[in-house]
Amino acid sequence: MTETSNPAKPILGYTDTETVKLDFDNTTFRTVKYWALKTMKQFKLEGFIILKSSKNSYHVVFNRTVSWSENMSIVAWVTLLTGFEKLSKWLIMQCIKQSSTLRISSKIEKPSPRIVYRQGKEKGQICNFIYYRKLIKNIIRKLEST
C-alpha cells in the first residue's frame, strides 16, 4: 500500500449490466486477444476492443447487447476455461454488485486504459462505452484544469 501527499482523487469507472466486459490481469496481449476472439465467435458478440490498463493488464469490451444473466454466463465461461484467478475474483465482485465495471481514470501508478486493438463491429455497446469514456475523460480534464 502506498500513500502520497497530493490531494487524492477517487477512481472513475463505467458501469452497466448489458455490455460483456472482461478484466485480464497478469496476462499477455496474445492470450487476451486469443480469448477475446474465441469468446466473440462462441457467443456471436459481433466485435470487441482491447484496452491496455497497465503492463500485462488488459480490459476487453464486446459489442453485442446482452441481458445480465447472459453477460455473467459468458464471463463465467471465460473464467472457467482460462482458469485465471484474478478474473474469477473480478467476476465474483461483479456478481455481488449486480453490474460490471471497468476503470476509466488513472489509478496509483497506473495510467488510464487506452485502446490497443479493435475487431469487428463497434456500433452497439462499444459505441456507448466510448461515449461514456469520453464523458468521464472530459470530467477529469475539467477537474484538473480548475
Q: Please give the residues from 77 up to 96 whose contact with another protein meets the rule CB under 8 A.
A: 89-90, 93
For residue 107, report the phi and psi dihedrals to the nearest 5 degrees.
-130, 170
Is 7 a binding residue for another protein by CB under 8 A? The answer is yes
Q: Measure Cα distances from 13 to 19, 69, 71, 100, 108 in Å.
A: 14, 21, 18, 10, 14
Burial 37-65 (b: 16+ CB within 10 A, else e): eebbeebebbbbbbbbbeeebbbbbbbbb
Beta bridge partners of 103: 13
What single-letter DSSP state applies at residue 18? S
36/111 Cα distance (integer angstroms): 22
Q: Select the residue interacting with another protein from 38, 112, 136, 137 (CB under 8 A).
A: 136
CB nearer to another protein: give 65 or 119. 65
Q: Select the residue interacting with another protein from 33, 52, 107, 137 (CB under 8 A).
A: 107
CB nearer to another protein: give 11 or 37. 11
Candidates 17-25, 31-39, 41-49, 75-83; binding stretch for another protein (CB under 8 A): 17-25
| Strand pairing report for 57-65 and 19-24 | antiparallel
Is 122 a binding residue for another protein by CB under 8 A? The answer is no
Q: Select the residue interacting with another protein from 6, 55, 69, 144 (CB under 8 A).
A: 6
Is 101 a binding residue for another protein by CB under 8 A? The answer is yes
Residues forming contacts to another protein in the complex (CB under 8 A) are 1-4, 6-18, 23, 25, 89-90, 93, 97, 99, 101, 103, 107-108, 128, 132, 135-136, 138-139, 142-143
